[in-house]
């Protein structure tokens, strides 16, 4: 009869490190796939807040991230990735952590992300998306939209395959912002915008706001589907 202790010592124990490594890899892959969008979103936020915001001159620029702003039509909230307030305008930054080839134009409702394998994924035109953000912020801050600057920042190593507006960029967000020197806001307007956004951050329960934001998206999608039926 085989001794169980001997079997464990000679066969199973030496293989335990391999089993452990395989198990850890499996769990890590499961967690990554399950929460991939959250990881990418968090990475994008960290790159901007810990990278760009830290490099900007604090005397002239102040950054805010992950803002939940009432939609201009009053139908719930819209989520804004990043805002930089400065005398040179209020920069509203929509970040996209996408790889692959990007096809689109300012006037197309949907853009396309294409991979080397031939796979394609459609996504909402981020220029249109940011227009909503600017309209919401303009209403909240009581500032005309002409004093805002839209920026679409792709950070996932993507390649643009169609001509896009100059404010759709894939490198040097800090450089793009600091190269703009045309003054759009008076000092008192800058101070008022910073005060209003600071107050917005202080009163926002992000967990509740995110639920409201997602519920609004789901509701509007359902309404559009019913309208097209």
Q: What is the mean pLDDT of each run of 10 residues along the chain (229 residues)?
A: 56 56 47 43 55 87 95 93 97 92 94 90 95 98 98 90 94 92 97 98 95 89 71
The pLDDT value recorded for residue 172 is 86
Q: Can you tell me the distance from the alpha carbon of 81 to that of 121, in angstroms, rounded to the nearest whole number? A: 21
Helix (H, G, I), strand (E, B) or coil at 82: strand
The pLDDT value recorded for residue 3 is 57
The pLDDT value recorded for residue 176 is 94
Give, in degrees to the nearest 5, the angle at Cα 79 between 103 and 215: 100
Dig out the tokens for 141 from the structure.
Answer: 């801050």
The pLDDT value recorded for residue 30 is 42
The pLDDT value recorded for residue 117 is 84
The pLDDT value recorded for residue 155 is 85
Residue ranges per structural domain of the chain:
58-228
Helix (H, G, I), strand (E, B) or coil at 23: helix
Choose among 139, 153, 146: nearest CA to 193: 139
The pLDDT value recorded for residue 36 is 46
The pLDDT value recorded for residue 6 is 59
The pLDDT value recorded for residue 99 is 87
Tokens 């009869």 sit on residue: 1
The pLDDT value recorded for residue 89 is 98
Q: Can you tell me the distance from the alpha carbon of 37 to that of 44, in angstroms, rounded to the nearest whole number? A: 11
Dig out the tokens for 224 from the structure.
Answer: 């559009």
């Amino acid at each position: 009869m085989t001794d169980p202790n001997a079997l464990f010592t000679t066969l199973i124990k030496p293989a335990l490190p391999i089993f452990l490594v395989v198990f850890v890899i499996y769990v890590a892959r499961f967690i990554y796939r399950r929460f991939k969008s959250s990881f990418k979103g968090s990475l994008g936020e960290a790159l901007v807040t810990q990278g760009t915001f830290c490099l900007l001159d604090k005397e002239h620029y102040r950054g805010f991230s992950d803002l939940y702003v009432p939609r201009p039509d009053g139908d719930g909230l819209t989520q804004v990735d990043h805002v930089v307030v400065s005398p040179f305008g209020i920069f509203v930054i929509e970040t996209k952590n996408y790889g692959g080839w990007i096809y689109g134009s300012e006037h197309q409702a949907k853009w396309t992300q294409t991979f080397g394998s031939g796979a394609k994924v459609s996504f909402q035109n981020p220029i249109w998306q940011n227009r909503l953000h600017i309209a919401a912020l303009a209403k909240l801050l009581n500032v005309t939209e002409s004093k805002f600057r839209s920026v679409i920042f792709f950070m996932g190593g993507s390649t643009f395959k169609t001509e896009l507006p100059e404010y759709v960029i894939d490198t040097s967000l800090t450089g793009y912002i600091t190269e703009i020197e045309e003054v759009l806001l008076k000092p008192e307007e800058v101070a008022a915008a910073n005060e209003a956004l600071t107050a917005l951050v202080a009163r926002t329960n992000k967990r509740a706001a995110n639920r409201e934001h997602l519920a609004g998206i789901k509701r509007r999608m359902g309404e559009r589907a019913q309208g097209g039926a």
